[in-house]
Structure 1
Amino acid sequence: MPAQPSQAIDSDLAARLAAQAASADGRAGARLSAAIADVFADERDRLDERTRMAINRLAEASVAAIERDIAGHAARLLEARGFPDAAALLAGNRAMTLPRLIESGLMRDPGVMGEMIAQARVDLIDEALAAQRAPGSTAMLLAALAESADGVVRARAVAYLVADSRRRMAHADRRAELPDALHERLAWWVAAALRERLGHGVPPEVDRALSEASQRSIAAHDDGERVEAAAAQLVAAIDPVAGTLPQLMIDSLGEARTSLFVALLAHALGIEFSEARGLTLDADSDRLWLALRALGIERHLIAQVGFVLCEADRARDVETLPESLDRVATLAPETAARAVAPLTLHRDFRAAVRALARSPRA
């Protein structure tokens, strides 16, 4: 008779099967929760497949780039310090951390994902704007700014073109341009996931190498290289007067430079770039039209901006645009300015006010 498996093997197999069953049960529950949430989600809140793919690509490329930096440098440190096995694992594996960051829920962080979603949407709008350009049309605005007689404007325009061209890299190379605080947060997440990947009983030397590699990645990150910083500096150099602002906005969209449009809006309203970008991407309200009216821009010019954005942004409905513009055009600029005035306040202050409003005093 063949030998019977030992009780130890049976016990080990049973434990593994039980763990697999528990994991499958947990996944089934998670799938059900996701399906229920999807069934009852408002249609306006759903991402279309193109947007979802763009966000996923951006997240994958961003995490992979940070992982390469941290894992590669940590591997070199560990090799030099006499830990070849850990060094080989870090050097030889790629794309190890994103699945774990998703599974753990860390990638659901509103700050990190909010920035990636916004940047992915701007990328898609720029792609659509570029596709809408008439054949043979030339980009005159940035060319003129890059040849300006004003040396500051000229330098800022060239810097913006460099930053924007970097953002328009091939999808596989395009990574999110995160603010310092968010890049730092993501770097530490990646380091922790790499550490976990190395297994239990990680020696202090490995922790030290991962920590040093993360700090190196954080220190190398330059907030000033982000396209929004370059756009803001260019607009500050131009310092457009009210009479030239509408045409600059229209031309920036015509040249598929949504980031420049956002920077113009932010500068004119005196608000942060991220707030102006939120207005630009808000397809569910009249806030952008209100903001443009607050700047004293006339209806026909707001309509030009609105039509271009409606054609480029699938989330917008061009059929409802005339009615929205009619509502906004009846307002005096001063009235519209009062409506958007809260955007000039610090975002944390506004968040605190909203939090208190959700919990009224007894």
Structure 2
Amino acid sequence: MSDDLLDTRDADASAAYLLDHVAAAERAGHRRLRAAADHFHLPVDARIDDRTAARLDATMRATVASVEAEIRDHAVRLLTSRGQPEVAQGLRMVPSTFGRVRRAGLFRDPALFGELFARVRLDTIARALPTMVIEVGDRPTMIARLAQASDRLVSAAAIAMLAAQARRGSVIDGGVAAVDLVRPLHARIAWWVAAALRESVPAGEAIGALDAALAEAVRRAIDMQGELVPLEIAAMRLAQAIDAQGEEVPALLTEAIGDGRLVLFVAFVARASGLAFDRVRDLVTDIDGARLWVVLRALATDRATIARIGFALTEAEPLRDIEQFADRIDSIMAVTPEAARVALAPMALDAEYHAAMLALGSAE
């Protein structure tokens, strides 16, 4: 009789589990269907190609892994030193938090996703650029030459940019390296990772000790991250040190493109135009390209330079229409620098003000 009762209880428990699983599967299926519909209805020019998607995923994973390793290692040391070896061991054995924080929506934050996506997009284009746009003979590459400049400010800035580029390359290629995000974005990742680690450790009554160790590890990671200079800032500092004037700008733009230093190209344009780096980066990665050409005309860039830049970008990204660009070159050059500056004036406004203007415009 007792065996029959046990079997009944097991059957009831299994049935309840199955019903719960059905409900969860129903919700998951609805989410997948909604995501598939959203993706299907995206216009072609808004979809992320497979190569970019793969590199973006690798970048996200490497970023989380780097932050997680730093937080976990320091928290384990703190717990061990504070007489909590079992909790420390539990924390050490927690698997990667990447899947957990991604499902919870970490990368749905527009600022964080936008920054990582823009970095990957710019780097992907840079890698596909033709190695040379103009013949430069046996001269060293642009950045190598700047690193050996007699101007110590330029030399130091170039060396700093090389270091930042090497660090960034490791992260984008899926390696684990120091993360050079601005403090608010780095802090967001760090606190989410800490929360994911916390929920996976069976700390019991020692949960307070775990919380304290994780919080201290996060604050330490955020403070230490402030010592790293992001590649974008390093590039802007180099552009500022060079301080190109007037007719010097086109030659620098062409050489930066020719060397595949697209981040430096963006910095030169941003410095010369007075626009923010991320604003110019958005123009460069925009397949349409119209806004970039107007910015270059605002700098009084000549036809030959615009043509070299345009053909280099179309070669790097097949989705850019090279015939359309060739047909458009006369129209581009017909825009006077004065008219271009007037057209671009809203882009120089406060970023949030400009974003609000765009939001209102898109809601009509």
Alignment of 1:297 with 2:301, yes or no, is: yes
Alignment of 1:243 with 2:252, yes or no, is: no
Aligned partners of 2:139 and 2:50: how far apart in 1? 31
Residue matched to 1:18: 19
The structure 2 residue matched to 1:213, chosen from 211, 217, 221, is: 217
After alignment, is 212-221 or 79-88 more displaced? 79-88
SS in 2 for 1:65: helix
Aligned partners of 1:298 and 1:72: how far apart in 2? 54
Contact map agreement 1:64 1:94 (CA 8 A) in 2: no
% same residue = 37
Residue matched to 2:186: 183
Cα drift, residue 59 of structure 1: 0.3
Cα drift, residue 195 of structure 1: 1.4
Residue matched to 2:167: 166
Aligned partners of 1:213 and 1:111: how far apart in 2? 24
Q: Deviations over 1:131-183 (max 9, x none)?
A: 6789x976432222122121111111111122212222372326663211111
Residue matched to 1:124: 124
Contact map agreement 2:287 2:319 (CA 8 A) in 1: yes
Aligned partners of 1:51 and 1:152: how far apart in 2? 35
Cα drift, residue 20 of structure 1: 1.7
Q: Deviations over 1:32-70 (max 9, x none)?
A: 112212222111111111111000000000001101111
Cα drift, residue 314 of structure 1: 4.2
1:93-108 equivalences in 2 (<5 Å): 93-95=94-96, 97-108=97-108
Contact map agreement 1:224 1:230 (CA 8 A) in 2: no
Q: 1:192 corresponds to which letter in structure 2?
A: A
Alignment of 1:227 with 2:231, yes or no, is: yes
Q: 1:187 corresponds to which letter in structure 2?
A: A
Query: Normalising by structure 2, what TM-score?
Result: 0.91
Residue matched to 2:280: 276
Alignment of 1:79 with 2:80, yes or no, is: yes
Aligned partners of 1:348 and 1:319: how far apart in 2? 36
Q: Whose RCO is larger (CA < 8 A, sep 6+)?
A: 2
Unmatched 5+ stretches in structure 2: none
Contact map agreement 1:72 1:90 (CA 8 A) in 2: no
After alignment, is 49-58 or 178-187 more displaced? 178-187
Aligned partners of 1:127 and 1:231: how far apart in 2? 17
Alignment of 1:266 with 2:270, yes or no, is: yes
Q: Deviations over 1:193-214 (max 9, x none)?
A: 1112225867211111111111
Contact map agreement 1:145 1:154 (CA 8 A) in 2: yes
Q: Is the alpha carbon distance of 1:15 and 1:212 closer, same or farther for their aligned partners in structure 2, counting shifts above 3 Å?
A: farther
SS in 2 for 1:225: coil
Q: Is the alpha carbon distance of 1:43 and 1:356 closer, same or farther for their aligned partners in structure 2, counting shifts above 3 Å?
A: closer
Contact map agreement 1:289 1:325 (CA 8 A) in 2: no
Q: 1:180 corresponds to which letter in structure 2?
A: R
After alignment, is 240-249 or 138-147 more displaced? 138-147
After alignment, is 33-42 or 198-207 more displaced? 198-207
After alignment, is 169-178 or 214-223 more displaced? 169-178
- Count residues in correspondence: 359
Residue matched to 1:56: 57
Cα drift, residue 2 of structure 1: 10
Aligned partners of 2:157 and 2:107: how far apart in 1? 34
1:18-37 equivalences in 2 (<5 Å): 18-37=19-38
Aligned partners of 1:38 and 1:277: how far apart in 2? 25
Q: Is the alpha carbon distance of 1:132 and 1:30 closer, same or farther for their aligned partners in structure 2, counting shifts above 3 Å?
A: farther
The structure 1 residue matched to 2:320, chosen from 305, 316, 337, is: 316
Q: 1:35 corresponds to which letter in structure 2?
A: A
Q: Is the alpha carbon distance of 1:138 and 1:92 closer, same or farther for their aligned partners in structure 2, counting shifts above 3 Å?
A: farther
After alignment, is 211-220 or 343-352 more displaced? 343-352
Contact map agreement 1:223 1:229 (CA 8 A) in 2: no
Contact map agreement 1:68 1:94 (CA 8 A) in 2: no
Cα drift, residue 317 of structure 1: 2.3
Aligned partners of 1:138 and 1:173: how far apart in 2? 32
Q: 1:105 corresponds to which letter in structure 2?
A: G
Q: Is the alpha carbon distance of 1:280 and 1:223 closer, same or farther for their aligned partners in structure 2, counting shifts above 3 Å?
A: farther
SS in 1 for 2:160: helix
SS in 1 for 2:187: helix
